[in-house]
A = this chain, B = another copy of it.
């Protein structure tokens, strides 16, 4: 790997990054807290402005800090959301192969567990959002474009459940799979008219899931979601293809 493991010269900016991270955990800093400013870092490391800017840039890319200009500005600790992690995961998968079958292999085991984990945790607002989603997806599409939007909206049903999931890692995995699937939908043109029954089957499962959620039947929810995933997998794998790499660097946002 590294041809020179001995006396490897690490970049100064990387040292600063590590030190700031150590500071964050050592001082138990919370989101919104200040992180040393440029002049302070320049002083304490005796380096130039450009070097500390590289370090701060790295921390910014990792989602750990945000910077503001002006008085009272500077670098502040940010609550690293899921976006940076999802972006890196896309980078990781960029040169690897992941197709619909691969996504559903994971989804078949993750979604039932996630769905069951939110039984009894859904608020009335959650139920309203889920029911609205089902209604919006039930309306017969008047155009191919609307059909495409409906297909993507169906994924929102699962994202709402993920938002309630108390396990942050499980929720992250679920949302990431939904994101990948969203790209697959547009890529495989799963919204074409001949795939209409695909959407109808999905909505039917969502409806049955809502009933099971109302009566808080966890085993029923789990079973329904598994069946839902198996059914969706059949529809999806019928459409051959692979996730285009063009979608894997985080562009299709918006």
Interface, chain A (partner B; CB < 8 A)? 13, 21-22, 24-25, 28, 30-31, 49-50, 53-54, 57-58, 60-64, 79-82, 84-85, 87-89, 91-98, 102-103, 105-106, 108-110, 112-113, 117, 167-170, 172-173, 245-246, 248-251
Contacts and interface: CB of A to CB of B under 8 A. Distances in A.
Contacts of A106: 110, 113, 167, 169-170, 173
B249 A25 contact: yes
A31 to B, nearest CB: 6
10 contacts: A21-B249, A21-B250, A62-B88, A63-B88, A64-B91, A80-B88, A97-B168, A105-B113, A105-B167, A109-B109
A62 B58 CA distance: 9
Contact of A91 (B57, B62, B92, B251): B62
A94 B79 CA distance: 9
A168 B53 contact: no
A167 B98 contact: yes
A192 B195 CA distance: 57
Contact of A53 (B50, B60, B81): B50
